[in-house]
Amino acid sequence: MNAPTSFLPPLPAIGADAAWPDRDWARAELPGSADHETLRRLLDHAFSPESHGGMGETHAFLAIHRGRIVAERYMGGIYTADATYPSWSMAKSITQLLTGFLAAEGKVDVAAPFDAPEWREPGDPRAAITWTHLLRMASGLAFREDYIDGAVSDVIEMLFASGKDDMGAFAAAKALEAAPDTRFNYASGTTNIIARALRTLVGGGEAGMRAFMQARLFGPLGIEKTVPKFDTSGTFIGSSYCFMRAEDFARIGLLALRGGNWRGQQILPKSWIDFARTSGPAQPDDGRGYGAQWWLNMFSPGGFSMNGYEGQWVACCPHRDLILVRHGKSTNEASALRQDAARDWLIAAMACF
């Protein structure tokens, strides 16, 4: 696919000395230009009980500079290097990458109308929705992404109640309430509509999709310990559920930061990564940027990130050739906006490089 890229910041060049993880990651000292003392203080605070009231718990932190781990810390107990951490909505970015494999094969045309069974009746206005509209969270479908109030939340109903057996169908049944591409509406349901279509295109139900994910993404990247979740219909719950080790989430980030290249092989087209980090016409009202299932500019100018509920983040910073991974439990409450504080903390950590 061709995506507008003229205004995108360049991704790091892949030189002959580029480091790639095998079964284990290469490790290095912090670069000499880094602010070692400030980073140490930030990590000491994040992994201390004193941080819990303000920013919540931090369970894992990784810094990957030029393909090498240069800083790493875990809370301990059940939170170790070998533990699997929840993705929550970081799974959306994984779903975008999986879609890219099929786009590269010509099985997905992101500019084409999205063929959902629920939208095939003549005159159905939802037939105008394209893959791009869904990927950019601008489909116009009525879907309420509320994590607190179950009485108004479509995402709670989808994940845990009447929609849980076929999440793609639950979301696709929603009415159109705005013209596509005119309003940004962050909606886990749209990602599960995409995931249901991927299941159909790949074939073989849940087993077929698991094999596809392993053969195309997890296997080539050396991700050995991953737990993707599926609904009863066999659809990958691409909005929310893919458990991995922190260092394996970092592998996903490294694939994106290196433009779809892995160990010298272009396993995804660079244009697909550029599409992920290109903003669409409809954007969030709060000033954050959004591309295609990836968030933009939240941690550094020109950066892009995988974001998950309660402060799961893989932040990619192209101009520093840097990836920061943070897992934890930071919830927004009226008395303490912990997730905002945790995000500010990660921004401060990135500024140390």
Instruction: Give the CATH number for residue 317.
Output: 3.40.710.10
pLDDT at 149: 72
Average pLDDT on 79-91 reads 98
> Alpha-carbon distance 248 to 336, whole Å?
31
> Alpha-carbon distance 340 to 331, whole Å?
9
> Alpha-carbon distance 325 to 83, whole Å?
14
| Residues 6 or more apart in contact with residue 230 via CB below 8 angstroms | 206, 209, 210, 236, 237
Does 310 map to a domain? yes
pLDDT over 80 (residue 187): yes
Does 147 map to a domain? yes
Burial of residue 214 (number of CB atoms within 10 Å: 0-12, 13-18, 19+): middle
> Alpha-carbon distance 62 to 340, whole Å?
19
pLDDT at 276: 98
- Quickly state the pLDDT bin for 4 (edges 50, 70, 90): very low
- Cβ-based neighbour number of residue 144 at 10 Å: 15
- Quickly state the pLDDT bin for 1 (edges 50, 70, 90): very low
DSSP 290: E
Q: What integer best gives the mean pLDDT of the chain? A: 95
Does 155 map to a domain? yes
- Quickly state the pLDDT bin for 331 (edges 50, 70, 90): confident
- Quickly state the pLDDT bin for 335 (edges 50, 70, 90): low
pLDDT above 90 covers a percentage of the chain that reads: 93
pLDDT at 350: 98
How many folded domains does the chain comprise?
Answer: 1
- 297's tokens: 């500019």
b vs e for 179-204, b when ≥16 Cβ sit within 10 Å of the residue's Cβ? ebbebbbbbbbbbbbbbbbbbeebee
pLDDT over 80 (residue 21): yes
pLDDT at 148: 73
Does 101 map to a domain? yes
| Residues 6 or more apart in contact with residue 16 via CB below 8 angstroms | none
pLDDT tens, residue by residue, 211-230: 999 999 999 999 999 999 99
Instruction: Indicate the SS3 state at residue 337.
Output: strand
Average pLDDT on 236-247 reads 98
Does 13 map to a domain? no
- Between the two ends of the chain, the Cα-to-Cα distance in Å is 34
Average pLDDT on 104-128 reads 98
pLDDT at 150: 61
Read off φ and ψ for residue 223, nearest 5 degrees: -85, 110
DSSP 79: B
pLDDT over 60 (residue 6): no
- 8's tokens: 């995108």
Q: What is the radius of gyration, based on Cα positions, of the chain?
A: 20
Does 317 map to a domain? yes
Residue (of 223, 258, 164) closest to 23 by Cα position: 223
Domain around 320: 36-350
What value, to the nearest 5°, has the Cα angle with vertex 320 and ends 2 and 245? 85
pTM for the full predicted model: 0.96
pLDDT at 117: 98
- 165's tokens: 């057996």
DSSP 318: G
- 300's tokens: 């550094």
Can you list the positions of beta strands (E) in the chain?
Answer: 57-65, 68-74, 226-228, 242-244, 261-262, 265-266, 289-290, 295-296, 304-308, 312-317, 322-329
pLDDT at 337: 79
What value, to the nearest 5°, has the Cα angle with vertex 326 and ends 286 and 251? 105
pLDDT over 80 (residue 333): no
DSSP 297: S
Does 2 map to a domain? no
pLDDT at 5: 41
Burial of residue 54 (number of CB atoms within 10 Å: 0-12, 13-18, 19+): middle
Does 345 map to a domain? yes
pLDDT tens, residue by residue, 132-185: 999 999 999 999 998 877 678 999 999 999 999 999 999 999 999 999 999 999
| Window from 5-9, 52-56, 63-67, 316-320 with minimum mean pLDDT | 5-9
Average pLDDT on 2-8 reads 53
Instruction: Indicate the SS3 state at residue 176.
Output: strand
